[in-house]
Structure 1
Amino acid sequence: MIFGLTIEKLLLIGLVAALLLGPERLPRYAEALASFTKRAREWVSTARTRVRDEMGEDFDDVDWRTLDPRQYDPRRIIREALLDDAPVASVTASQVQPAAPVPPTTPVRSPFRGPLDGPTPYDSEST
């Protein structure tokens, strides 16, 4: 299965393409698809060769199946991460001491100026 396509789906796509393209254009499109497939295979093999050359001997040591993202289950990963930690002692609300209030050292000024802060600044030369 390529991208979830089965043989039946591929045959149906081919039949619809044959009906839409017609017998005149179908050979040209089939040839273009074949050349595109060949170029894609060459590109993939070139990329694989370049990766192998750049990684050196370590390329063969990598277990690529462990890096497959389809195998990861987020629930399992979270469960394992939570179970790896040492158990934390629980604290009840009666054991928590209230924090002492800290008096502010300087008054906090509002970024918005209101009518009590004085007149609104006005520049007579700006208009």
Structure 2
Amino acid sequence: MFLGMSTPDLLVVGILAVLLFGPDKLPEFLKNATALLRKVRNFSEQAKEEVRTGLGPEFKDFEFEDLHPRTFVRKQLLGNDDLGIGELRDGIGELRAALDPEPVAAPHESRVPVDLRKRSVDGGRSGERPPFDADAT
């Protein structure tokens, strides 16, 4: 698998490339495309290195991938608890226990009975239509 594409997808892309560029210009196009990708990758690495040196020696272990929200949350919740999220979680649990000493009832064991019968909208006048207000429509 290349870039998340299956073999038939790669085959279709290859056939389209041959049809669009022709068999004689395709190698030159691929050479130019790989050179462009190499330049972009080098530029990106240089920019990252400049940011790291600009931040100073405290951030020598800084990784840009850690800025992605999903990675950041996973790192903070599953390990490396530098922000003290575990302490917050424990504190919230203690606070809940202090405020509500009774165990929380399961949803099917509610304390207040719930009436699920359908009530009439017209207040019991089942044969009459509700009044029509032309200004409200």
TM-score when scaled to structure 1? 0.45
Greater radius of gyration (CA): 1
TM-score when scaled to structure 2? 0.43
